[in-house]
Structure 1
Amino acid sequence: MINSSQTENQIQQVTNFKDLTSSPFQGEVNAMCWSRNLIGDFSEIVKKAPLEGNMAELTPQKLLELQLSKEGQLARTILLNDFKLLKTHGASPTINLIRCYERDDVFPSLPTDVYSFHVDRSPIPTDTFLCTYYGEASDILPNAQGTQKILIPEIRAELKKLYDGPDAGFEAFLSEFFFDLHYQAKPEAQIISLGIGHLWKLAIDHPESKILPCLHRAPKEKTGETRLMMIC
């Protein structure tokens, strides 16, 4: 049985950017949220920003070139301010327009695309920051409510069929091709939407981390709707 306290223990709420960036993850907490009710018309930015293909980066320069109403300008100011805050913090933010991500259909039972619950990994200590301003929001999953896919017997058996090498190298193979980063939600899992306008910090897998990385995924977009988000 899933315990609702698992979700409560995972997320820490903060009220400003300074606390978001300076507060360390501790104990079971591996997701931190600066909750905000943003003003402005972010949909206008989505409608007026050029997008060829399924995904594009919206640079601050391109954002400034858009002819916007007063509500659109308010939204742009928030985007630019968030971008500046993250840059000043030392992060490398990108503003993305997304119709959809590429899907991984090479191995259907263990896709390694961003629609699958996964953790981020880095060789150095860092965090993932993200905010959805328009469109469907990303999801996170409490660690206790997910199963690492490479530990599921039938998936592991399929992976061994793909692997052509000595048994001693199998775990390295799983890591090299990122299979070990992906998780499957348990049947009664309480999936948590990150919502619109909130700036999140998620823990990732790195050598110095003392807490579990946050399981997260991109949402399935609504047909005809473009997402607007910032991530780094």
Structure 2
Amino acid sequence: MINTSHSDAQIYCVTNFEELLSTPFQGEINAMCWNRKLVGDFSEIVKKLTLNENIQIVHPKDLLELKLSEQGQLAREILLNDFNVLKAHGASPTINIIKNYESDDAFPFFPTDVYSFHVDRSPIATDTFLCTYFGASSDILPNSQGTQKILIPEIRSELKKLYGESDEEGFESFLSEFFFDLHYQPKPNTNPISLGNGHIWKLAIDHPESKVLPCLHRAPKENTGENRLLLIC
């Protein structure tokens, strides 16, 4: 089971898929979790899929073509069911095998890759769903424990140098255009919350109709020699 005792009012736990899909975010809640203990061998799926790139999309037909043990078949059934339920809900899920994400070193003082705590943004009302079946799992951070990086004086000063003009309105547009405003720095002595393996999460994102703060999250540093199996949409 995932330990949410240290996340105060941010996380709401549900008991089934339907509740996860239908329950709206409200108040301080911007993360929902269907706590599950899965059966099956997901590592077998990871080992039997060929990875030609650092991140590879796995299509349902790819899974169906695998020759798996009984435990591997149980894992495949769960994975395909999760995919199909989300798709039927109107989402666009993808199944990924991940060796590692690309790191961003264009601005050493301000990385904007997914290893940095960030929020997702969309022009339309939607949520982020994700589940790590195997490998290192993502983290979330209570909003009270993060500071928007563009508000940190020394970082803001460097960004203004990068922008190179004195137009304040243009500077704010620059921050948004290059996604600097989506990233957050953990405060001292923070406690990121691991999303664990097998649990399906729904995270609030920044969109025009949202009534809650977007959820701060980051991808994990991968375990050496171990690919991740992730469903996300």
Global fold match (TM > 0.5): yes
- 3-state SS in 2 of match to 1:63: helix
Q: Offset at 1:6?
A: 6.9
Structure-2 residue corresponding to 1:60: 60
SS in 1 for 2:9: helix
Letter in 2 for 1:120: D
SS of 2:26's equivalent in the other structure is coil
Cα distance per residue 1:193-213 (max 9 Å; x no partner): 000000000000001111100
In 2, the alpha carbon distance for the partners of 1:11 and 1:168 equals 35
Contact 1:31 1:200 in 2 (8 A): yes
TM-score by length of 2: 0.96
In the TM superposition, what is the alpha-carbon distance from 1:5 to its structure 2 partner?
7.2
- In the alignment, the residues of structure 1 paired with residue 6 and residue 29 of structure 2 have an alpha-carbon distance, to the nearest angstrom, of 10
| 1:127-182 C-alpha deviation (Å, 9 max, x unpaired) | 00000000000000000000000001111011011103433200000000000000
Distance 1:72 1:5, change over 3 A: closer
CA RMSD of aligned residues (A): 1.1
Equivalent pair of 1:6/1:142 in contact (CA under 8 Å)? no
Aligned residues: 229
Q: Which residue of 1 aligns with 2:80?
A: 80
1:115 corresponding residue in structure 2: 115
Is 2:187 aligned against 1:186?
yes
Q: Aligned residues: percent identity?
A: 72
**1-side partners of 2:164 and 2:78: how far apart?**
51
Partner of 1:131: 131
Aligned equivalents of 1:112, 1:164: Cα separation in 2:
20
Report deviation, 1:53. 1.9
Q: How far apart are residue 110 of structure 1 and its match?
A: 1.1
Q: Map of 1:209-224 to 2, 5 A cutoff?
A: 209-224=210-225
Match of 2:146 in 1: 146
Counterpart residue number, 1:206: 207
Give the structure 1 partner of residue 17 of structure 2.
17
Runs of 5+ unmatched residues, structure 1 = none
Structure 2, unaligned runs of 5 or more: none
Using the TM superposition, give the Cα deviation of residue 7 of structure 1 relative to its aligned residue in structure 2, in angstroms: 1.2
Three-state SS of the structure 2 residue aligned to 1:224 is coil
**Paired letter, 2:197:** I
**4+ residue runs of structure 1 moved beyond 3 angstroms?**
none
